[in-house]
């Protein structure tokens, strides 16, 4: 008899794979450095697929951690725009130059098809390769209940 094991649902609502496009040093002080970086890549997930652009401002501390402020735009393959903002924390990079991070924020869209994402909270975790300047973000959405 064939197994009737149910296929599990994807663990994440959105996957982003991006590569750095620019970096700027904004401030250097005795205990911290503030930088701004941009990246571009692809998104795929439960609600849409498309192109990803972001700007991340990182305040790096002497212990190797960083406070992150992120702004992003997603343009879906159907021409819809989803935008979001959030904050996060990045851990010090490991010996291979990989820094783990977590974050959270909110998103908005003018798309009628994706209107359930308006005001939705997102949470993410990911890996930033500081040597190759690539990032992988795995996100989940907390969509508000509709009345």
Domain ranges of the chain: 14-142
Say if residues 43 and 52 touch (Cβ distance below 8 Å).
yes
Query: What's the burial of 86, exposed, middle or buried (CB within 10 Å: 0-12/13-18/19+)?
Result: buried
Which pLDDT score, from 0 to 100, does residue 56 have?
A: 98
Name the CATH topology of 14-142.
Porin (2.40.160)
Say if residues 100 and 91 touch (Cβ distance below 8 Å).
yes
- Which portions of the chain are predicted below pLDDT 50? 2-3, 147
pLDDT 10s digits, 100-141: 999 999 999 999 999 999 999 999 999 999 999 999 999 999
Which pLDDT score, from 0 to 100, does residue 7 have?
A: 53
The pair of structure tokens assigned to 12 is 């994440």
Which pLDDT score, from 0 to 100, does residue 11 have?
A: 87
Distance of CA 119 to the CA centre of its chain: 16
φ/ψ of residue 115, rounded to 5: -60, -25
Which pLDDT score, from 0 to 100, does residue 8 have?
A: 56
């Amino acid at each position: 008899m064939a197994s009737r094991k149910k296929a599990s649902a994807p663990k994440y609502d959105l996957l982003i794979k991006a590569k750095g496009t620019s970096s700027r040093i904004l401030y250097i002080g005795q205990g911290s450095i503030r930088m701004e970086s941009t990246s571009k890549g692809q998104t795929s997930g439960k609600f849409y697929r498309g192109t990803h652009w972001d700007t991340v401002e990182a305040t790096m501390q002497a212990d190797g951690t960083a406070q992150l402020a992120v702004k992003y735009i997603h343009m879906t393959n159907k021409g819809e725009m989803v935008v979001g903002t959030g904050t996060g924390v990045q851990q010090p990079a490991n010996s291979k130059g990989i820094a783990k991070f977590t974050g959270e924020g909110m998103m908005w869209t003018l798309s009628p098809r994706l209107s359930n994402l308006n005001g939705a909270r997102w949470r993410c975790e990911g890996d930033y390769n500081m040597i190759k300047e690539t990032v992988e973000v795995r996100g989940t959405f907390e969509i508000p209940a509709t009345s």
